[in-house]
């Protein structure tokens, strides 16, 4: 694409322009999938509760997300008295920006990646950790006790689960010998049996549960906790500012699902070696993982706060450590090839 | 010192073994996410189950003949108002939604000059209907009505009579069907 643009434009400008186009090619589908994820979620949860969910707006209710977005767009943004204006508006941006920035290193196919950096995994970890500042600042700037409680909870929760999540990723990079997401996928070549979800099965489960906790989704949604603290950190937000939090939550959900797919389910690789690989497989797998997110939400009641802490610190962290040591030990034995 | 007797070794083992078994089973259960998976199985079953949603404007739930909806005042078949202004309904109404004023007519009968029901106060308890000696004030099956302005739901005598006229057939049929239970 750069070559093509260089024919018409100044070469420096062409590169920037090419990147801009690529960014749009990522951000716009992400936004659309966020919108339709909300629709998907409402339909699936409805089905699991013997309802049918939204089916009025457009064909099968397919225009519902657009109607919702328009509604939020036209709503007034209310500024609470005595809130810190600057931080109040910074918070939604701080939560949406990392949620989108992390997509830069996600490989959608062979060499189909915006920024092919070597420390991709670390970059993603860093970005997902920054997202919590949005929540914390939102809770603090709102000058409301519910919001403040929500942000405290979410800070503690994200800090605890970040560790377990980081350790599961250590397992992956031990197997793949690389921090580059593309290379991690390439290391899982050769059908379903080569995917890392088998040798790293406990880590896969722990990663997945931590991912649910990281994105503040049910049953770990204590930061919002409607029945306890109204809406938690975003209780004072309305209109577009609220919509940004909403977008960030769902974009993060898709992001951690795609990461789960890349690291444990073979990314864009097809499950059987005789079927060609491609982005299609990535989408199917991501949809499958996202279904689990929604399934959890429809099934489990919210964890109690101290139970969340216990699970994070006393169960997940020891378990991941044990499994990492186990993998390390196995790699020194004759069975090492199962872990590569 | 009987209560300090711990039994012989075999007995003690019998007490400890099930405890250990329980302990191990608990760990295995929670590590295999046994209960969580069962819960997910349940929701998945419901995912494929028949949906019970009633799609309202097109589909409606069945109504009982005793349905308590919009209020109406009835007339006799000869066109005479039923209401004799006894004010029993006004007295019984727990929400104090009814206001009645009455006077003597030329033919020396007592009739209402004003009969207002504030539907924003009414709780649709049906006491007025039960108290009425002449089946004048009744509740119809109508529930799809609304007011667009303040005061639209303050129903006057004329409006109530109008409702009664409109749904008289249904009202009479329901009263007849229920008459043997009253
Ligand atoms: S239905 Fe009950 S509340 Fe309504 S007017 Fe009659 S007595 Fe009053
Ligand atoms: S509606 Fe019935 S109860 Fe009420 S004043 Fe008239 S006759 Fe009496």
Q: What pLDDT shows up at residue B95?
A: 92
Environment class of A18 (CB within 10 Å of its CB; exposed 0-12, middle 13-18, buried 19+): middle
Per-position pLDDT tens, chain A of length 340: 666 766 777 777 777 888 888 888 888 888 888 888 989 898 999 998 888 888 888 788 888 888 888 888 888 888 888 777 888 888 888 888 888 888 888 888 777 777 778 888 888 888 888 878 888 888 888 888 888 888 888 888 888 888 888 888 888 888 888 888 777 877 777 777 777 777 788 888 888 888 888 888 878 887 777 777 777 778 788 888 888 888 888 888 898 888 888 888 877 877 777 777 777 888 888 898 999 889 988 888 888 888 888 888 888 888 888 888 888 888 887 776 666 6
Q: What pLDDT shows up at residue A150?
A: 83
Distance CA A30, CA A252 (A): 10
pLDDT digit string (tens) for B18-55? Answer: 788 888 888 887 777 888 888 888 888 888 888 888 88
Kindly provide the b/e burial profile for residues B106-116, where b requires at least 16 CB atoms within 10 angstroms of the residue's own CB.
Answer: eeeeebbeebb
Q: What pLDDT shows up at residue A25?
A: 84
DSSP A39-101: HHHHHHHHHHTT------SSGGGTTHHHHHHHHHHHSPPP--TT--HHHHHHHHHHHHHHHHH
Q: Which ligand 1 atom sits closest to the C-alpha of B126? A: 1
Distance CA A118, CA A140 (A): 36
- Closest by CA to A326, choosing from A187, A161, A198, A200, is A200
B27 chain-A contacts, CB cut-off 8 A? none
- Average pLDDT of the residues in B64-86: 90
Does pLDDT of B8 surpass 70? no
Q: Which residues contact A33 (CB under 8 A, 6 or more apart)?
A: A254
Contact call for B42 and A299, based on CB within 8 A:
yes
Query: How far does residue B72's CA lie from ligand 1's centre (Å)?
Result: 11
Would you say the CB of residue B88 lies under 6 angstroms from ligand 2? Answer: yes
Does pLDDT of B3 surpass 60? no
Distance CA A337, CA A179 (A): 19
Task: Name the band, by pLDDT with cuts 50, 70 and 90, for residue B7.
Answer: low
pLDDT digit string (tens) for B115-153? Answer: 999 999 999 999 999 999 998 999 999 888 888 988 889
B14 vs B30, which has greater pLDDT? B30
Environment class of B85 (CB within 10 Å of its CB; exposed 0-12, middle 13-18, buried 19+): buried
Residue nearest to atom 8 of ligand 2 (CA): B86
Provide φ and ψ at B101, rounded to 5°. -130, 145
Q: Do residues A14 and A2 make contact, with C-beta atoms less than 8 angstroms apart?
A: yes
Q: What pLDDT shows up at residue A162?
A: 84
- Closest by CA to B81, choosing from B52, B45, B107, B59, is B107
Query: How far does residue A19's CA lie from ligand 1's centre (Å)?
Result: 70
Would you say the CB of residue B117 lies under 6 angstroms from ligand 1? Answer: yes
Query: How far does residue B116's CA lie from ligand 1's centre (Å)?
Result: 11
Structure-token pair, residue A2:
């750069």
Query: What was the ipTM of the complex prediction?
Result: 0.71
pLDDT digit string (tens) for B24-33? Answer: 888 887 777 8
Does pLDDT of B1 surpass 60? no
Cα atoms in the Cβ-side hemisphere of radius 13 Å centred on B77: 2
Nearest beta carbon to residue A48 from set B36, B47, B53: B47
- Closest by CA to A132, choosing from A113, A153, A116, A163, is A153
- Average pLDDT of the residues in B97-105: 91
Indicate yes or no: pTM above 0.90. Answer: no
Nearest beta carbon to residue B43 from set A51, A52, A298: A298
Q: Is A157 helix (H, G, I), strand (E, B) or coil?
A: helix
Contact call for A299 and B43, based on CB within 8 A:
yes
Would you say the CB of residue B28 lies under 6 angstroms from ligand 1? Answer: no
Would you say the CB of residue B91 lies under 6 angstroms from ligand 2? Answer: no
DSSP H helices in chain A: 2-6, 11-48, 64-74, 85-101, 120-141, 145-176, 181-186, 201-214, 226-229, 239-264, 279-299, 305-310, 317-331
Distance CA A316, CA A310 (A): 9
């Amino acid at each position: 694409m750069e070559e093509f643009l260089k024919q018409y434009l100044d070469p420096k400008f062409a590169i920037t322009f090419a990147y801009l186009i690529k960014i749009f090619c990522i951000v716009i589908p992400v936004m659309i999938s966020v919108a339709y994820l909300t629709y998907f979620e409402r339909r699936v949860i409805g089905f699991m509760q013997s309802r049918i969910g939204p089916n009025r707006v457009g064909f099968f209710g397919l225009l519902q997300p657009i109607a919702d977005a328009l509604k939020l767009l036209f709503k007034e943004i209310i500024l609470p008295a005595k809130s810190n204006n600057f931080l109040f508006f910074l918070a939604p941006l701080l939560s949406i920006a990392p949620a989108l920035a992390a997509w830069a290193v996600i490989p959608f196919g062979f060499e189909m990646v915006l920024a092919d950096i070597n420390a991709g995994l670390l970059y993603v970890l860093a970005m997902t950790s920054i997202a919590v500042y949005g929540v914390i600042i939102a809770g603090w700037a709102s000058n409301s006790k519910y919001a403040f409680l929500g942000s405290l909870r979410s800070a503690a929760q994200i800090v605890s689960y970040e560790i377990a999540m980081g350790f599961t990723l250590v397992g992956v990079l031990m197997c793949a010998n690389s921090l580059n997401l593309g290379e991690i996928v390439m290391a899982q070549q050769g059908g379903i049996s080569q995917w890392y979800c088998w040798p790293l099965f406990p880590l896969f489960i722990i990663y997945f549960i931590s991912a649910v906790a990281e994105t503040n989704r049910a049953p770990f949604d204590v930061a919002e906790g409607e029945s306890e603290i109204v809406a938690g950190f975003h209780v004072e937000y309305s209109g577009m500012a609220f919509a940004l939090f909403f977008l960030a939550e769902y974009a993060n959900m898709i992001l951690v699902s795609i990461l789960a797919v890349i690291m444990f389910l073979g990314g864009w690789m097809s499950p059987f070696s005789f079927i060609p690989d491609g982005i299609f497989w990535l989408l199917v797998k991501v949809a499958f993982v996202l279904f689990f997110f929604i399934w959890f939400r429809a099934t489990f009641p919210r964890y109690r706060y101290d139970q969340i802490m216990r699970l994070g610190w006393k169960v997940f962290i020891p378990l991941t450590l044990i499994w990492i040591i186990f993998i390390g030990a196995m790699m020194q034995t004759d069975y090492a090839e199962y872990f590569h | 010192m009987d209560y300090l007797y711990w039994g012989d070794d075999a007995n003690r083992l019998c007490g400890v073994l099930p405890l250990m078994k329980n302990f191990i089973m608990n760990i295995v259960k929670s590590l295999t996410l046994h209960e969580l998976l069962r819960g997910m199985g349940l929701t998945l079953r419901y995912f494929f189950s028949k949906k019970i949603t009633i799609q309202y404007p097109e589909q409606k739930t069945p109504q009982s003949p005793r349905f308590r909806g919009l209020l109406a005042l009835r007339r006799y078949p000869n066109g005479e108002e039923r209401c004799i202004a006894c004010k029993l309904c006004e007295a019984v109404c727990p929400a104090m939604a009814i206001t009645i004023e009455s006077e003597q007519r030329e033919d020396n009968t007592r009739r209402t000059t004003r009969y207002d029901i504030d539907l924003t106060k009414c709780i649709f308890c049906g006491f007025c209907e039960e108290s009425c000696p002449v089946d004048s004030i009744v509740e119809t099956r109508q529930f799809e009505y609304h007011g667009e302005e303040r005061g639209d739901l303050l129903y006057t005598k004329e409006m109530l009579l109008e409702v009664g006229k409109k749904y008289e057939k249904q009202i009479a049929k329901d009263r007849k069907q229920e008459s043997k239970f009253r």
